[in-house]
Chains A and B, each alone.
Chain A
């Protein structure tokens, strides 16, 4: 249907409704308390694993430990731990190219290689204390797949990036939602309860979500 005709039909249909003004947003009040502690508790409640690093060196150590036994990883840069990706490659881990080629057949062939991908390492744009969520956006060096396709997702986030809740975050930083083609709020590992509500982790997305918290210095 022609756009104008479609909209005209909607316009005349809604004519009898009272036109209230836009009520605007409401940011729910949050209980007081330390955001880091609350975030860690809530992440655990959704079966994610928080790691509190004391500094970036410690964060590096934590990531290296989590990488043990794995081989292929994809990284979303720039990471808040300088030299992390380089160190991993130096240690013999293989990094997966994340640039999808434009040709349809080549794209499919490229993506099929993702089946060997084991770990995705991403820098989160924010973390949300209330729900134990992390916010990840796509971008030039930020493939969407890094937080989606591997069985293990390791997210790095600075403690000053923790917001009380999604509403707080979007009230303060709504531009993050649209500055790239994709923003995703991830709350724990992929899950389903479709079969008799038996909770199962890792349906299509990662089975394990590790969040490494790095103090802001």
Chain B
């Protein structure tokens, strides 16, 4: 597999990244304005965090309560240990119910599980209905942002794509493109047999699931088809409806700067007797797929995440490399913690290093996840398992050896100054070995007579 750096290298400075950068900035500006206009935000963030951490500490109890409550209102619950079990359940269900066409509303979890592939392999038609996800699907691309999947695409690309794939005349007007998508998807919604959605928040006490969208595709997906399957990451619970409202107060503000998204949709079981519409069946697939491992490990705090994407928007690294460089379903700061924790630190050990630890992510996180600290912990773990940048060990050991013996440290400073004098201009333009990475784009000031020496001379002189 390629490394983060290799993937980043091929994306940096390209037009998609320029588009993404503008978009990410706009999101973070909107967030900043929304937070400024909402004085209780800090208290709400504290409360949201407390609710999420409390839920995680008692997750088995709340999951059981959720499953009981949902079954009590006629829903079906399936517990999936991993991606295979989750996909298999949906595939078997679709077969059993003679499902041919499936509409989907946006779900990062189904991306994580590769559910579309599993269904398509069985000959089923799977249609993404979020405008961004539809574009990703038509382009055979991957989302570059967890809430704005095509942040990296220009309207010109999308115009060409629609012309090719949907057989419509070329236009790059976003409003017309949007109308084309609406017309294309409307009959698909109305004739689909199954709707698959993710879940933003599940409520243990009532068995409710909450799905938040702006376009309304989440509502159509969960209303028009006769079967609704909701894919729920096992950690995405809160105890009560009231707790849900606390999360909702911070979610949209952090994500897009809206007070609430256009549709905050709360579903409690399938259509009830006498109700004129809605799905006849509701299945909630509760997915572990590594979450219990994360919960037991040092990065468990990351499971408090409510997937608003704010940490992506403010991250200077994400803004520079885009979402694809992270190589996983979850990009940005949250992804750099979640991906290695959820899957495999050996394979993803470079992600924790894809950060300058600048702290912008922590500053905006609605549940105050200390992402820099979690990244530091994972770096330490990757050093312990020798999957990190082990070339650093020798120089750092040598440096630590000097830095714990002041005499040696001062000798090192003296040696530096001697070498520094070799550079007449005071600047080093090329460094050997690993230092070449620095001088590829930056000069380095040569070391000079140290402060230690100057202090000594100064005090001798006085």
A and B in direct contact, judged by CB atoms within 8 A = yes
Query: What residues make up the interface of A, taking CB atoms closer than 8 Å to B?
Result: 1-3, 6-26, 28-29, 42, 46, 98-100, 102, 104, 107-108, 111-112, 114-115, 128, 130-131, 133, 138-145, 148-149, 165-167, 170-171, 174, 177-178, 180-198, 200, 202-206
Compute how far the CA of A12 lies from the CA of B288 in the bound complex, rounded to whole angstroms: 14
- Using known A-B contacts A108-B190, A170-B242, A203-B182, determine if residue A28 contacts B258 with beta carbons closer than 8 Å: no
Is A148's CB under 8 angstroms from B249's CB?
Answer: no
Compute how far the CA of A106 lies from the CA of B239 in the bound complex, rounded to whole angstroms: 39
- Using known A-B contacts A21-B54, A25-B245, A191-B262, determine if residue A178 contacts B268 with beta carbons closer than 8 Å: yes
Interface flags for B325-353 (1: CB within 8 Å of A; 0: not) read 00000000000000000000000000000
Interface flags for B146-172 (1: CB within 8 Å of A; 0: not) read 001110011100100000000000000
| Partner-binding segment picked from B118-126, B218-226, B398-406 | B218-226
B96 interfacial contact with A, CB 8 Å: no
Query: What residues make up the interface of B, taking CB atoms closer than 8 Å to A?
Result: 19, 22-23, 26-27, 38-40, 43-44, 47, 50-51, 53-54, 56-60, 63-64, 67, 73, 77, 79-81, 85, 98, 129-132, 135, 148-150, 153-155, 158, 174-175, 177-178, 181-182, 185-187, 189-191, 193, 206, 208, 214-217, 219-220, 223-224, 226, 234, 239-246, 248-249, 256, 258-272, 274-278, 280, 286, 288, 292-293, 295-296, 300
Is A181's CB under 8 angstroms from B245's CB?
Answer: no
B171 to chain A, nearest CB (A): 11
CB < 8 Å: which of B206, B220, B258 contacts A148? B220
Is B64's CB under 8 angstroms from A100's CB?
Answer: no
A76 to chain B, nearest CB (A): 9
Return the chain A residue nearest B58 by Cβ. Answer: A19
- Using known A-B contacts A20-B54, A166-B260, A200-B178, determine if residue A7 contacts B249 with beta carbons closer than 8 Å: no
Is B148's CB under 8 angstroms from A193's CB?
Answer: yes
Compute how far the CA of A28 lies from the CA of B247 in the bound complex, rounded to whole angstroms: 12
Is A14's CB under 8 angstroms from B219's CB?
Answer: no
Is B185's CB under 8 angstroms from A204's CB?
Answer: yes
- Using known A-B contacts A170-B245, A182-B278, determine if residue A7 contacts B63 with beta carbons closer than 8 Å: yes
- Report chain A residues within 8 Å CB of B59: 10, 14
- Using known A-B contacts A130-B259, A148-B219, determine if residue A112 contacts B58 with beta carbons closer than 8 Å: no
Pick the most buried of B215, B288, B300: most chain A CB atoms within 10 A of its CB.
B215
Is A181's CB under 8 angstroms from B267's CB?
Answer: yes
Return the chain B residue nearest A179 by Cβ. Answer: B268
- Using known A-B contacts A14-B59, A191-B262, determine if residue A140 contacts B190 with beta carbons closer than 8 Å: no
A95 to chain B, nearest CB (A): 13
- Using known A-B contacts A6-B288, A23-B50, A143-B277, determine if residue A187 contacts B56 with beta carbons closer than 8 Å: no
Compute how far the CA of A75 lies from the CA of B429 in the bound complex, rounded to whole angstroms: 75
- Using known A-B contacts A19-B57, A107-B226, A180-B275, determine if residue A13 contacts B293 with beta carbons closer than 8 Å: yes
- Report chain A residues within 8 Å CB of B270: 181
Compute how far the CA of A19 lies from the CA of B59 in the bound complex, rounded to whole angstroms: 10
Compute how far the CA of A30 lies from the CA of B155 in the bound complex, rounded to whole angstroms: 40
A106 to chain B, nearest CB (A): 11
- Report chain B residues within 8 Å CB of A148: 216, 219-220, 223
CB < 8 Å: which of A28, A177, A191, A205 contacts B241? A177
- Report chain A residues within 8 Å CB of B292: 9-10, 13
Question: Can you name 13 A-B pairs with beta carbons within 8 Å?
Answer: A14-B58, A15-B296, A20-B57, A28-B38, A29-B39, A144-B223, A174-B242, A178-B206, A182-B266, A182-B268, A193-B148, A198-B155, A204-B216
Compute how far the CA of A187 lies from the CA of B215 in the bound complex, rounded to whole angstroms: 11
Is B295's CB under 8 angstroms from A204's CB?
Answer: no
- Report chain A residues within 8 Å CB of B265: 182-185
- Report chain B residues within 8 Å CB of A28: 38, 40, 43-44, 249
Is A26's CB under 8 angstroms from B277's CB?
Answer: no
- Using known A-B contacts A23-B54, A178-B208, determine if residue A187 contacts B261 with beta carbons closer than 8 Å: yes
Is B259's CB under 8 angstroms from A187's CB?
Answer: yes
Return the chain B residue nearest A12 by Cβ. Answer: B296
Pick the most buried of A3, A98, A144, A186: most chain B CB atoms within 10 A of its CB.
A144
Compute how far the CA of A9 lies from the CA of B63 in the bound complex, rounded to whole angstroms: 12
Return the chain B residue nearest A45 by Cβ. Answer: B259
Give the 4 A-B CB pairs with smallest separation, nearest first.
Answer: A205-B216, A25-B242, A28-B40, A198-B174
Is B131's CB under 8 angstroms from A195's CB?
Answer: yes
- Report chain B residues within 8 Å CB of A139: 275
Is B85's CB under 8 angstroms from A1's CB?
Answer: yes
Return the chain A residue nearest B38 by Cβ. Answer: A28
Pick the most buried of B240, B256, B295: most chain A CB atoms within 10 A of its CB.
B295
Compute how far the CA of A133 lies from the CA of B216 in the bound complex, rounded to whole angstroms: 15
Compute how far the CA of A3 lies from the CA of B191 in the bound complex, rounded to whole angstroms: 34
- Report chain A residues within 8 Å CB of B275: 138-140, 142-143, 180-181
- Report chain A residues within 8 Å CB of B219: 144, 148, 184, 204-205
- Using known A-B contacts A170-B245, A171-B242, A181-B267, determine if residue A195 contacts B60 with beta carbons closer than 8 Å: no
- Report chain A residues within 8 Å CB of B274: 140
- Report chain B residues within 8 Å CB of A107: 226
B147 to chain A, nearest CB (A): 10
- Report chain A residues within 8 Å CB of B174: 195-196, 198, 200
- Report chain A residues within 8 Å CB of B214: 190-193, 203
A198 to chain B, nearest CB (A): 4
CB < 8 Å: which of B191, B268, B280 contacts A102? B280
Compute how far the CA of A141 lies from the CA of B276 in the bound complex, rounded to whole angstroms: 7
B266 to chain A, nearest CB (A): 5
Q: 20 additional contacts, CB 8 Å, given A108-B191, A192-B178?
A: A7-B63, A19-B54, A24-B243, A25-B246, A28-B38, A28-B43, A133-B260, A148-B220, A166-B260, A178-B206, A178-B266, A182-B266, A185-B260, A187-B259, A190-B214, A192-B215, A195-B155, A200-B174, A203-B216, A205-B220
